[in-house]
């Protein structure tokens, strides 16, 4: 089991460029999440999904879009990157049960110049 | 929505001493409380969790206590070691709800 994987590990973008971050999980989890982590600010939820074909906004959704076309994949898109989106992005997944934890991917470090 | 507050933001202890990190939550419907450890440059990883029908849970040098009445839960690490140095996050999840609410993190430094 690979668990939760993320692609790419690191990326540098210029302002205005677009990119897609890929998250994949092989644990058959229904729920998937995208967080961003900035220094000293903990984890902030961007978007999440409770199943294939469904997505919902989290705490900081502006500037991001997501898609969940397959149960095992959750994509995070930046249409026009801004320096404020420089961050570390973590994907996570979990079972629907309210008393189960979530498992995190290794993170993607994004630098927007 | 739920609000989770975590204290202290930084904690420095001598090797062998105990460390305690506290979190409070606002939603009485929250019933699952995990703790994550994040080493520098790594992903957050679950170290211990507690469900609302339990008051305390131990796993070797780590323990978590939950006070539902006061709506707070704490992480206790005994006999700290330098490899315990990391950022620790608490979280709360509400019954029948999709999201986890995280505390702001505690940076623990264990001095040899």
Pick the residue of B7, B32, B44, B48 with the most A CBs within 10 A to test the interface with A by mutation: B44
Closest-CA distance of chain B to residue A97, Å: 8
Instruction: Please provide the average confidence, as pLDDT, over all residues in chain A.
Output: 93
Residue position matching structure tokens 């609410």: B101
pLDDT at position A6: 98
Asked if B33 has any chain A CB less than 8 Å from its own CB, the reply is: no
Of B43, B94, B105, the CB nearest to A98: B94
pLDDT at position A98: 62
Asked if A42 has any chain B CB less than 8 Å from its own CB, the reply is: yes
Q: What is the mean pLDDT of residues B103-112?
A: 96
Cβ contact A104–B32 (<8 Å): no
B12 has pLDDT over 70: yes
Asked if B10 has any chain A CB less than 8 Å from its own CB, the reply is: no
pLDDT at position A84: 96
- What residues of A are in contact with residue B105 (Cβ under 8 Å)? 40, 42
Cβ contact B89–A102 (<8 Å): no
B53 has pLDDT over 90: no
Task: Retrieve residue A63's tokens.
Answer: 């500037």
Q: Give one DSSP letter per residue of A38-75, joined into a string.
A: -TTS-EEEEEEEEETTEEEE-SS-TTEEEE-SSTTEEE
* Sheet (strand B72-77) strand order: B4-7, B19-25, B72-77, B62-67, B56-59
Higher pLDDT, A6 or A40: A6
């Amino acid at each position: 089991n690979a668990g939760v994987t993320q692609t790419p590990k690191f990326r540098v973008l210029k302002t205005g460029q677009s990119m897609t971050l890929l998250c994949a999980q092989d644990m058959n989890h229904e729920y998937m999440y995208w967080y961003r982590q900035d220094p000293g600010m903990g984890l902030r939820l961007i978007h999440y999904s409770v199943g294939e074909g469904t997505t919902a906004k989290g705490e900081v959704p502006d500037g991001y879009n997501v898609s969940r076309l397959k149960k095992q994949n959750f994509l995070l898109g930046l249409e026009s990157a801004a320096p404020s989106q420089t961050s570390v992005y973590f994907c996570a997944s979990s079972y629907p049960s309210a008393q189960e934890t979530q498992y995190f991917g290794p993170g993607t470090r994004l630098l927007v110049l | 929505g739920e609000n989770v507050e975590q204290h202290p933001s930084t904690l420095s202890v001598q090797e062998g001493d105990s460390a305690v990190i506290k979190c409070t939550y606002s939603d009485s419907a929250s019933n699952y409380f995990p703790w994550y450890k994040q080493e520098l440059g790594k992903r957050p990883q679950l170290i211990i969790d507690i469900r609302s029908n339990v008051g305390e849970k131990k796993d070797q040098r780590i323990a978590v206590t939950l006070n539902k009445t006061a709506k707070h839960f704490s992480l206790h690490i005994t006999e700290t070691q330098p490899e315990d140095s990391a950022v620790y996050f608490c979280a709360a999840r509400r019954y029948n709800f999709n999201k986890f609410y995280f505390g702001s993190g505690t940076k623990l430094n264990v001095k040899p």
